[in-house]
Structure 1
Amino acid sequence: MNLYEAIFVRKSVRKYGMDKLDQTVIDHIMNFADSIPMIFDDIKVRLELVQLADLKHFQPGILTVKAPYYLVLYSTKEPGYLLNAGNMMEQIALYITARGLGTCYIGSLNLKDKVLEEEEYEQVIALAFGEGEYEVYRQNDKAKRLPLKSIAVFKEEVDKNVRTIVSAARLAPSGMNSQPWRMVVYNNRIHLFCKKNIFMKNVMKEAGLIDMGICLAHLLIAAEEMWLDARPVTISNISSQSFKKNDYIISVKMS
């Protein structure tokens, strides 16, 4: 199974066996994570692997899960760092899924005993993973997602590959299953917007940008599967505009 195939079967797994994974599996995950390029070159990222046994202040609750491993992403706070974090962590989640393991996003992890020496880094997101206690895959049609017509506007007739790419983006996970992404689709480009919510506080806005990065990962992975050269770009004449219902995030150009 590759990353693209994992998009259609991944689900959030909240119950895990506590057995340790083979070190070779851990090494493969960390090596893959290290190979992911940043969306923006000036962003620095640190990934820390944490085992449950190392957490002295772990408190299970509705916003976290008890798992044998956690991958914690730290980032410098450069423009676009939340989008970058979501894009990066979703690729890792899909890679882990493709290896038959379960994953679940958690907003943050209490690491009072583990402080990075570099003060410039901020903990952004964490991913729980390990051997799932139950089935770690779901059927594609069981995903609770908005219909395509609710999230994408097709400005012209697009070929099957582009429609497949948008369908893959539709399956991206999001906090509280909010699905904030909205897309304006052409045959050679997709403009990605985030739905505005006047009730969102700052924390929720940040979570929305991470969700947009996750959606972006699905777009880029699907484009690569379709043998298309796709790259994320910011288009100035769109970013300079103000939109009533959505915020412009980024575009994906394809060729």
Structure 2
Amino acid sequence: MNIYDAVKFRYSNRRYKFEEIDEELYKNIVDYANNIVPVFRKAEFYIDFIKATSPVNYLTNYRPIVAPYYICFFTKTNLESNLNMGYVMQAFSIYLTSIGLASSFMRPTGIKLVEKDGLKPVLMMAFGKAKGLPYRDVKYAHRHALDRFIYKYDECDDFSKGMIDYGVLAPSRLNQQPWRFEKRGNDIDIYLYRRFDSYRKADEVSVGAVLCNMLLYAEEKWHKAKVELNRVTVSHFKNADYICSIVLDSE
């Protein structure tokens, strides 16, 4: 399965076989993760891999996720870092889907991880061979209708709608889908609905995952696109905050 198609079939799988991955494949997985280029290159981060030696319950907020492998994202806590985190982890998750492995985002709870060089362990992902299918048909994604996400939906062009449709296949906390979009000239502006402050970091991470999907869509359609901050001064959403914009090439 190619990376573009894997976006549609990726989902958060919480049930894994406690089996090792072929050594050569595992090396390729680590190399792939270490070579993902983030959205904001100046924002410091690093990733680390953990091999579980026994099927211990590493607890998330909601349920145990027992997996043979984990990847942990170390970074600072700010907007750029949160967007990077979501982007890189989503890119890694999509890659795993493309090679037939399952994955699930989780908090780094229940594992003793040490801060390194001022960077804290902020997000983890469990991965490995799934119990059952590692894929999910896109029709079971349970996403809102596209016109609910887009401001002035009828004025939005088909290409931008396609990008956004791919974007909202990204995961979000409790599947709340807090994103909203506005097409403005060559920009697709991305907003977050205001929710509990405790959700804010996770919501910003989810925007990073949305960016990953949208930029993959643009690349597949041979369009140049980049992510920029601070391109909006007036919001049309009373209960949402502007986060960033995807700027499409005018050619």
Supply the AA of the counterpart residue of 2:224. Answer: D
Residue 186 and residue 108 in structure 1: after superposition, are their counterparts in 2 closer, same or farther (change >3 A)? same
8 Å CA contact retained: 2:102, 2:129: yes
1:205 to 193, 200, 206: 200
SS at match of 2:205: helix
Q: Which letter maps to 1:181? A: W
The 5 Å alignment of 1:163-242 reads 163-186=161-184, 188-197=186-195, 200=196, 202-236=197-231, 238-239=232-233
Shift of 1:173: 1.1
1:38 counterpart residue number: 38
The Cα shift of 1:79 comes to: 4.5
- 1:90-112 CA-partner distances (Å, limit 9, x unpaired): 00000011000111111223332
Distance in 1 separating the partners of 2:6 and 2:83: 21
Q: Does 1:94 align with 2:88?
A: no
Aligned to 1:128: 126
Does structure 1 residue 248 correspond to structure 2 residue 246? Answer: no
User: How many Å separate the matches in 2 of 1:60 and 1:84?
Assistant: 21
Q: In the TM superposition, what whole-angstrom CA distance separates every residue of 1:48-104 from its partner, at most 9, and x where no partner exists?
A: 111221797844773441011011111134542111101110000000110001111
Determine the C-alpha separation between the residues in 1 that align with 2:243 and 2:91.
19
What amino acid maps onto 2:109 in structure 1? L
Is 1:157–1:187's contact at 8 Å kept on the other side of the alignment?
no
Letter in 2 for 1:66: V
Report deviation, 1:163: 2.2
How is 1:7-18 mapped onto 2 (pairs within 5 angstroms)?
7-18=7-18
Counterpart-to-counterpart distance in 1, 2:146 and 2:140? 15
Q: Which residue of 1 aligns with 2:114?
A: 115
Is structure 2 residue 142 aligned with structure 1 residue 144? yes
Q: Is the 8 A contact 2:57 2:65 kept in 1?
A: no
Deviations 1:171-199 (A, max 9, x none): 111110010110002463210000112xx
Shift of 1:40: 2.0
| CA distance 1:117–1:245, change in 2 (3 Å) | closer
Would the aligned equivalents of 2:114 and 2:120 in 1 still touch at CA under 8 Å?
A: no
> Is 59-68 or 170-179 further displaced after alignment?
59-68
Q: Structure 1 pair 239/109, CA: closer, same or farther in 2 (3 Å)?
A: farther
Distance verdict in 2 for CA 1:107–1:64, change over 3 Å: farther
Q: Scaled by the length of structure 2, what TM-score is found?
A: 0.90
- More deviation, 85-94/30-39: 30-39
Separation of aligned partners in 1, 2:138 and 2:244: 27
How far apart, in 1, do the equivalents of 2:111 and 2:157 lie? Answer: 47
* Cα distance between partner residues in 2 of 1:102 and 1:134: 10
Provide, for residues 131-180 of structure 1, a one-character-per-residue CA deviation record: whole Å limited to 9, x for no partner: 00101111111111111011112477554432221110121111100101
Q: Cα offset for 1:235?
A: 3.2
Q: Which residue of 1 aligns with 2:3?
A: 3
CA RMSD of aligned residues (A): 2.3
Residue 53 (1) aligns with residue 47 (2): no
Q: Specify every segment of 5 or more residues in structure 2 that has no aligned partner in the other structure, as ranges.
A: none
Distance 1:242 1:226, change over 3 A: closer
SS at 2:13's partner residue? Answer: coil
Q: Tell me how far 1:35 sits from its aligned partner.
A: 1.7
Q: Do the aligned residues in 2 keep the contact of 1:46 with 1:75 (CA within 8 Å)?
A: yes
